[in-house]
Amino acid sequence: MSNAVAPWQEAISGAVAGVASRFVIAPFDVIKIRLQLQLLPTSLAAIPLRSAQNIPSERIYSGMIQAGYRIFREEGIMALWKGNVSATYLYFTYGGVQFYSYARIRQMLEAISIRLTGNLPQPDITSFVAGATAGLFGTVMTYPLDLIRTRFAMQTAEKVYESFPRAVSHIYTHEGLQGFYRGILPAVYQIGPYMGISFSTQAYINRHLQVLNDKPNGIPMRLSPEFVSGGLAGAISKTVVMPFDAIRKRLQMQGPDQQRFFATGKVPRTFVGCAAHVVRYEGFGAFWRGWVPSMLKSAPGTAVTFWVVAKMRELFANA
């Protein structure tokens, strides 16, 4: 992180980067959520009747390309951007909060280390701790937007929510304030390691790519080191935390209207209970269902985020 960039400038950089990355990854996000929440157990007969009422007898989506084409054919091209209003609010707010918090926490950790040891802390550890803590702040502050985004993505031609304001009103009326925070526990479990790994991995890879790029006999890079390191960091961190994401998405879909969404059966409402239910009735592989579109979302999304943030930092530093 450039010392010439103030935390408020980091916040603006993160917000702009969040909107830019959302525009790029929106279709992959919708496909990933549909594949991730498609309840196709290893044995349909094994699922309790109360949990299987809304599960189709045949696989609706068999893969990323087929899912994308089917959504386009049955629901129209704009269906690939379902929930984009709430998602844009989410990415804008989350990006701003995350990078502002990251800058502040790094400053605090560096100041504490200098005061105690006289030296700066190890950069990768600092990046992990600051990234994990910033991710927690951002998630708690923006979680209702994430829940609404997920529900919009799971709507079929029969709409449950006509607009973002109506979704907010409907959830509050029928589920109360706690309805906006369904599944927040696995989100908290997920986001700390996810953002810690993402920030520290990106910083580590970027640092080494910069060295290679700057050497006289080094390897010239056609792509920005920030873009490449961000993409690799996004892929690695997302693969590690996908089980938490799968549980979070299932818990987010619970509620009085769940039978009106695409293929969402009932699951236990606790983190451990939901995880055990998935393992028992769908197998361990269900935790990584939708991995391909998830990688196509996370890798370019994180790459764009870190690249845009780097460019915004340059603009602020040179202003």
Is residue 215 within 8 A of residue 203, CB to CB? The reply is no
Q: Check residue 157 and give its pLDDT.
A: 67
Helices (H), 38-183: 64-75, 84-117, 123-153, 164-175
Q: What is the mean pLDDT of the chain?
A: 83
Spatial separation of the C-alpha atoms in residues 127 and 198, rounded to whole Å: 9
Is residue 174 within 8 A of residue 255, CB to CB? The reply is yes
pLDDT band per the 50, 70, 90 thresholds, residue 49: very low
Give exposure, 266-292, as e/b (b: 16+ Cβ within 10 Å). bbbeebeebbebbeebbeeebbebbbb
The answer for residues whose C-beta is within 8 angstroms of residue 133's C-beta and 6 or more apart is 101, 105, 192
Is residue 228 within 8 A of residue 299, CB to CB? The reply is no
Q: Write out pLDDT tens, residues 290-311.
A: 888 888 888 999 999 999 999 9
How many helices and strands in the chain, by DSSP H and E?
9, 0
Q: How far is CA 209 from the centre of its chain?
A: 25
Asked if residue 266 has pLDDT above 80, the reply is: no
Q: Check residue 119 and give its pLDDT.
A: 87
Q: Write out pLDDT tens, residues 11-45.
A: 999 999 999 998 888 888 888 888 877 765 444 44
Q: How far is CA 136 from the centre of its chain?
A: 12
Q: What's this model's pTM, rounded to 2 decimal places?
A: 0.76
The answer for residues whose C-beta is within 8 angstroms of residue 125's C-beta and 6 or more apart is 200
Structure tokens at 237: 């961190």
Q: Write out pLDDT tens, residues 79-127.
A: 888 777 778 888 999 999 999 999 999 999 999 999 998 888 888 899 9
Name the residue with higher pLDDT: 41 or 228.
Answer: 228
The answer for residues whose C-beta is within 8 angstroms of residue 16's C-beta and 6 or more apart is 95, 308, 312
Q: Check residue 1 and give its pLDDT.
A: 46
> For residue 90, which of 1, 14, 28 has the smallest C-alpha distance?
14
Give me the DSSP letters along 105-120: HHHHHHHHHHHHHSSP
